[in-house]
Amino acid sequence: MINHSNYIKPLVLILCLSSLLFSALSVTGHGYHPPDDASRHVAKVLSGKDWREILVVRDDFGVDSHPGWHWILTAFYRLTGTDSDGLMVFSIVFMFLLFTVAGLFVFRHQEAWLWALLIYAVFNFSLIWRLVIGRPYIFSMFVLLLFFYLYEVIRDKQRPIWELVALTVLIALTTWIHCAWHLWFMPLFAILVARDFRSFKLIAFSILLGILLGSILVGNPLHFFYQTTTHLYEATSSYEVKRQLVSEFQPFAGDSQGVLIVAFFLLLRKIRGRWDNKVVDNPIFITMILGWLGGFVAVRFWNDWGWVALMYWVAKELDQFLGDFSDYFLSLKRLVFVTTACLALFLCISNDRDSRWSLSATATKDVPSVDIPEHKEALPQKGGILYSNNMGVFYRIFYQNPHAEFRYILGFEPVWMPKEDLKIYRKIQLDSSNKNYQPWVKKMRPEDRLIIISNNKPEIEGLEWTKIVGQYWSGRVKDATR
């Protein structure tokens, strides 16, 4: 048999890269617009303002938690001169490719990673969807993926100096780009549970040093640690019922599809006679379990951390399985196998089932704009405040109006609000009747507006209501001068 490995291996890589690239571009080609934080990151860069100029913020908050991501967006904006939609496309494609392409270079058989993505895209697409949401947490997922790879090298290498340096740099970057530094203690704890004490000591030092360097990059380390710790505590505890929290801090149902996938691969090992306790007694599998258990408290433990461990573990299982057929996968038949996986993944991600990509584009069209004269009067005036019961109002209007000269009482996280306003907002979440809005109505000035998304005119007393566009209603105090 002719050895085709000289050109099959690069062709496999090209096929995998093309599949991922065209998948991302196809999603953005539908006009897809992420529903939440990607909008505020883009708008903040375009506004040139700090958060205190954008939001009404409590006195002890205001430090930018994602300065690294805003630096990257700013650099791309200045380099290309693109507009807000161009920055949004860059956010989606860059973050998606960063995570998905990294996996191609971690495993011996690139298609092992591609098949792992495909399996999950078929069984539970919602987690694949989170990869095209254009947010900086995906950078942390990318670093966690490399963390598992570097861990295995550090564990097996006598003097893993460069691997430890690389890990330190990656932790510093993710602290600067995405502020969830505290979650790195989860995989570190997993190493301790796995009783790999040598690696634990080495990696613990790298993580702590990386977090410190990252906080220095932010520019105000002490305030950064205070704000992120306080934010985490209050964002997960300031509620009467769990539904008041943002969706990512609510518990999940257990991701039964993920459990079945793990069970299948464990059973496959048993059937093949390749069982080894190290398959489950290792930091990667333990991180997966910790993330799964944590998901019953807050789903982000699973979505951003446990799921990455599962993907790495599944891809590694597939990589070892494919290694048993090395002669076969050095033949031309491998190209057929890989092409099928690439095509299936592309079709699975890119198709517009239930308008999952195109529908979001229509949601961003009918948004109030200060550039439209009939909208401008219904929006807060210069120096005014935009009150609302819906974070979607902030995301959409701020994205549409990054240079507007008013601030928002409710932004991307309720606990950033002054505590008095947070109490008002929490009551509105439980009961959106007229009485719970009255504390805000009494505070409102002529330049302020209360914006509500509703099919019908809001029944909130003390305000004059104007329908701006679509479902947006604007209320202003009745004695305001026209």
Structural domain includes residue 42: no
Helices (H), 240-350: 256-272, 283-295, 300, 307-323, 333-350
Judgement on whether residues 412 and 340 belong to the same structural domain of the protein:
no
Find out whether 72 and 223 touch, Cβ atoms under 8 Å. Answer: no
In a domain, 136, yes or no: yes
Average the pLDDT over 329-340 and give the result.
82
Go through the chain and tell me how many residues it has: 482
pLDDT, position 3: 53
Residue 45, in any domain of the structure: no
* Cβ burial, residue 207 (10 Å; 0-12/13-18/19+): buried
Range of the domain at 447: 373-477
Q: Decide if pLDDT at 329 tops 70.
A: no
182 and 138 Cβ atoms separated by less than 8 Å = no
Number of structural domains in the chain: 2
For the cut 60, the answer to whether the pLDDT of residue 4 exceeds it is no
Say what percent of the chain tops pLDDT 70.
Answer: 96
How do residues 183-194 score in pLDDT, each as one tens digit? 999 999 999 999
Is 228 a member of any domain?
yes
Asked if residue 187 lies in contact with residue 141, where contact means CB atoms within 8 angstroms, the answer is no
Domain assignment of residue 239, yes or no: yes
Highest mean pLDDT among 82-86, 249-253, 356-360: 82-86
**From CA 380, how far away is CA 408, in angstroms rounded?**
10
pTM of the model: 0.93
Query: What number of CA atoms fall less than 13 Å from residue 271's CA on the CB side?
Result: 7
Query: Can you give the pLDDT at residue 326?
Result: 65
**How far is it, in rounded angstroms, from Cα 216 to Cα 68?**
12
Residues 395 and 312 in one domain: no
Residue after which a domain boundary falls, among 358, 386, 414: 358
Domain annotation covers residue 107: yes
On whether both 389 and 315 belong to a single domain, the answer is no
Indicate if 309 and 378 belong to the same structural domain. no
CA of residue 278 relative to chain centroid, distance: 31
